[in-house]
Amino acid sequence: MTRTPLKRRSPKQTFGAIATILAAGILAGCAGCASPEAPAPIEIPDEPEEIAPIVADPEPARPTDADGVWLDENGRPIARTVYFDFDQAVLKPRDLRVLERHAEFLRDNRSRTLTIEGHCDERGTREYNLALGERRANAVQDFLTSAGVRSSQLETVSYGEERPVDVGHDESAWSKNRRAELIYR
Amino acid sequence: MTRHHLALTALAALLAWPAHALEKIIIDQGYDNQTRIAVVPFDGGLVGDDDIADIISFDLARSGQFDALPAENMLSLPTHPEDVLFRDWRVLGIEYVVIGRMWSNAQGELAVAWHLFDVFNERELMAANLAAPPAKARDIAHRIADDVYERITGVPGAFSTRIIYVLATDAGTAQARYLLKIADSDGARSRTLFNSDQPLLSASWSPDARRVAYVSFESGRQAIVVQDLATGARQRVAEYRGLNGAPVFSPDGQRLALVLSRDGNPEIYVMDLAGDRALRRVTRYPGAIDTEPSWSADGRSLIFTSDRGGRPQIYRIELANSMIERLTFQGDYNARARLLPDGQHLIYVHRRRGTYHIAWQDLERNDVRVLTETSLDESPSIAPNGMMLIYATQNAGRGILAVVSIDGRVKYKLPSDEGDVREPAWSPYIDALSPDSRH
């Protein structure tokens, strides 16, 4: 019996594919915009090839995909949160693999829906942060739709700074609060 | 100043009100040359736990403009005009004296007769009689403080006003609760207007002080609610896809400025409250956040926050012709602005060296003055007489309310005995003693 060898893509190849999707998504998303300003350039900083701290409980037996993303028993990534830099709504490269896996699950399960919550740290005014949180939720939504998820499967809600996960008042707390959460319904 | 602080501490110790909760006010800073006043204990002025003279004294003291003499330092305690010996007050350096008597009248109301004297000129400046149901003892005291303040300073007092604010308990946990509260402007008599396990924020008053509008997540999505204070009746007036935020009543109370992102981007809208809630879109700037509208006194323009220039700054838009003008230029984060009643000055949240303060700006000369030096200061709301503003800040890791004078020289805190207190909104003038008052 001959078996076609499984072609494993290297993390770098996957990353390139995702970056292309992301770029296409942002361009497509902005095609109708009349913004007088150029869309923000997609900055992909040279980060070390690190895997995001996906879960607090790294059991070695946990199934992963080819890129090392931990999956639950339904094939969905266990990671349901992506993080943002201060006052930014740009997805970080390290989160793209996880989001691509969520997109794959949603493409394969068209009846499943996802709510994307956008959140901020406490700095800045509350209403401005509600708008910033919406930008963050939209960044995730745009990524997923450009990766083939139907917009009818997605819903966004911004909580701004109103629902912190860490109520501290330092960068350690703030960095945990600047996030988008993916909640399956 | 030290003597002043001690006097206030003693005074504050006499004032206690039941939980929840804004605790005794802590005055941090007042003017150096305060007007020295004595409010003599009123005959019959102890009504339940409320001492009318103490409430008047404390109102005047927290303006920062008055130094109120504690009763134990008084040489005489007159309650009738003919008993006032000006010499007793002159030797203490007291400039003004307030005396009064209270009794229960034939209608079962609390009646009061009070007088204000000018010590140096040895004459009566004011005398008045009031009556109100006994439950309004504090309102009587605040009214007298308003009248004394106006007679001496020439500016109407705002002690009879109310504040609304949000109390958040167990934030960051599954038990988090959010309570919309109303209290007297000194923090007393707080009660809950609405209670939710989802966030509440951005409360603002209708100009007749009968309704409040606020943002509620009670349905799991953002919505704008208008609530009648007397009946408690609530209406969800906006619950569109996306943001439904930052509601503010127009000066005539007929319209509501708000923020919606239903067309894909946060923009300012005006809703007609009187009619069918028709919406008019005011801003149009794809890719930018436009939020936090606030009305000019004539209702013809709105100021708002926008990051259309790359960073949040304050802009003004004329509603008739949509002409837009940028108002703030210092710093890279200016947001949530409110106009002072004179329309010539702006109050907003200003970031300086990474921390957030309340700033004041003269719109003619564009000079900016930072009024607060704490961090994470936000949500400034101006008293109707334009003399003070209340804002939210952090103290020992918890959200509290604080007040600062418009010139930055008077400061006091309203600590809370529990949770995080935030999102204050100072009411318009109210007439709590009028028979049809719902306050």
Work out the mean pLDDT of chain A and round it to a whole number: 78
The predicted pLDDT at position B156 comes to 97
| Cα B100-B19-B202 angle, rounded to 5 deg | 100
Say whether A162 and B220 touch across the interface (CB within 8 A): no
A33/B286 CB distance under 8 A: yes
For B74-94, the pLDDT digits (tens) are: 999 999 999 999 999 999 999
Per-residue pLDDT of A32-84, as tens digits, reads 344 444 444 444 444 444 445 555 555 556 677 777 778 888 888 888 999 99
Reference B127, options B136, B114, B140, B118; nearest CA is B114
Judged by a CB distance cut-off of 8 A, whether residue B287 touches chain A is yes
Report if residue A158 sits inside a domain. yes
- A128 with B336: Cβ contact below 8 A: yes
pLDDT, mean of residues A84-98: 95
Fold for domain B162-426?
Neuraminidase (2.120.10)
Examine residue A142 and state whether it is found in any structural domain, yes or no: yes
Q: Is residue B63 very low, low, confident or very high in pLDDT (cuts 50, 70, 90)?
A: very high
**Any chain A CB within 8 A of the CB of B376?**
yes
Q: What is the pLDDT of residue A57?
A: 53
User: B356 contacts in A (CB within 8 Å)?
Assistant: 123-124
Q: Answer yes or no: is A95 within a domain.
A: yes
Q: Is the pLDDT of residue B258 over 80?
A: yes
Q: Decide if B289 and A165 are in contact by the 8 Å CB cutoff.
A: no
pLDDT (mean) for B63-84: 96
- The region that residue B103 occupies, defined by phi over 0 for left and psi between -120 and 50 for alpha, beta otherwise, is beta
Counting one residue from A and one from B, how many pairs have CB atoms under 8 Å apart? 87
pLDDT at A2: 42
- Asked, colleague to colleague, whether B2-153 and B162-426 share their fold, the answer is no
Tell if the CB–CB gap between A125 and B201 is shorter than 8 Å: no
The answer to whether A133 touches A120, Cβ cutoff 8 Å, is yes
**CB–CB of B289 and A159 under 8 A?**
no
Residue A27 lies in a domain: no
Q: Under an 8 A CB cutoff, do A167 and B172 touch?
A: yes
Using the predicted structure, report yes or no on whether residue B347 has a pLDDT greater than 80: yes
The H or E element containing residue A183 is strand A179-184
* A87: closest chain B residue by CA: B311
The pLDDT score that the predictor gives to residue B299 is 97
- Residue B277 banded pLDDT, cuts 50, 70, 90: very high
Could you give the C-alpha distances from B351 to A125, B14, B279, B348, in angstroms and in order? 10, 39, 33, 10
**B255 pLDDT higher than 80:** yes
Could you say which DSSP state residue B437 is in?
-
Residues belonging to chain A with any Cβ–Cβ distance to chain B shorter than 8 Å: 33-35, 37, 39, 122-128, 130-132, 134-135, 156-159, 162-169
> Which of B221, B286, B356 has its CB closest to that of A34?
B286
Domain limits for position A126:
80-185
Residue, of B437 and A37, whose pLDDT is higher:
B437
Residues in B touching A135 (Cβ below 8 Å): 289
Confidence band for B186, pLDDT divided at 50, 70 and 90: very high
A137: tokens are 């939720």
Q: Which residues of A touch B376 (CB under 8 A)?
A: 122-123, 169
Q: For A3-12, A107-116, B186-195, B382-391, which range has the lowest pLDDT when averaged over its residues?
A: A3-12
* Mean model confidence pLDDT for chain B: 93
Q: Any idea which residue has 């409250």 for tokens?
A: B273
| Domain residue spans of chain B | 2-153, 162-426
- Asked if B396 is an interface residue toward chain A (Cβ–Cβ < 8 A), one would say no
Tokens for B356, please give them: 């957030």
In CATH, the number for domain B2-153 is: 3.40.50.10070
Give percent of chain B with pLDDT exceeding 70.
94
Cβ of A131 within 8 Å of Cβ of B202? The answer is: no
Q: What is the mean pLDDT of residues B148-159?
A: 97
| Cross-chain Cβ contact A167/B261 below 8 Å | no
Q: ipTM beyond 0.90?
A: yes
In a domain, A24, yes or no: no
> Given a cut of 80, is residue B328 above it in pLDDT?
yes
Mean pLDDT of B369-378: 94
Amino acid, res. B349: V
B171 touches chain A (CB under 8 A): yes
Query: Total domain count for chain A?
Result: 1
What percentage of residues in chain B have a pLDDT greater than 90? 87
Task: Indicate whether A132 pLDDT > 90.
Answer: yes
Residue B351, pLDDT above cutoff 60: yes
Nearest to A124 among B266, B333, B397 (CB): B333
CB contact under 8 A, A158 and B243: yes
Task: Answer with the residue of higher pLDDT: A72 or B328.
Answer: B328
Considering only residues A27 and B120, tell me which one the structure prediction assigns the higher pLDDT.
B120
DSSP-assigned letter for residue B83: G
Q: Count the neighbouring beta carbons within 10 Å of the beta carbon of residue B278.
A: 11
- Measured between CA atoms, the residue of chain B closest to residue A32 is B286
A75-89, A133-147, B118-132, B347-361: which has the minimum mean pLDDT?
Answer: A75-89
pLDDT of B56 > 90? The answer is yes
Which of A15-19, B53-57, B411-415 shows the lowest per-residue confidence on average (mean pLDDT)?
A15-19
CA distance B190 to chain A (A): 23
In this complex, the residue of A158, A162, A164 whose CB is nearest that of residue B201 is A162
First-residue to last-residue Cα distance in chain A: 43
Query: Are residues A46 and A147 in contact, defined by beta-carbon separation less than 8 angstroms?
Result: no
**Taking a C-beta distance cutoff of 8 angstroms, is the pair A177, A161 a contact?**
yes
Q: Is residue A109 part of a domain?
A: yes
Domain for residue A54, yes or no? no
Confidence of residue B358 (pLDDT cuts 50, 70, 90): very high
What is the reported pLDDT for A24?
A: 44
pLDDT of residue A70: 83
pLDDT at B120 over 80: yes
CATH of the domain at A112: 3.30.1330.60
Q: Using pLDDT thresholds of 50, 70 and 90, give the confidence band for residue A26.
A: very low
The pLDDT of residue B436 is 76
Residue A44 distance to chain B (closest CA, Å)? 20
Closest-CA residue in chain A for B395?
Answer: A169
- In this model, does residue A17 exceed pLDDT 60? no
- What are the C-alpha distances in Å from B378 to residues A13, B171, B371, B373? 46, 18, 12, 12
Residue B378, chain A, CB below 8 Å: the answer is yes
Three-state DSSP class for residue B99: strand
Best CA proximity match to B117, nearest among B76, B172, B163, B59:
B76
Residues 6+ away with beta carbon under 8 Å from B82: none
Is there a contact between A128 and B222 if contact means CB atoms under 8 Å apart?
Answer: no
Q: Is B335 on the interface with A (CB under 8 A)?
A: yes
Task: Tell me which chain B residue has its CA closest to the CA of residue A37.
Answer: B287
**Cβ separation B289–A128 shorter than 8 A:** yes
Instruction: Identify the weakest region by mean pLDDT among B56-60, B236-240, B272-276, B344-348.
Output: B272-276
C-beta atoms of A125 and B305 within 8 A: yes
Task: Report yes or no: B408 at the A interface, CB cutoff 8 Å.
Answer: no
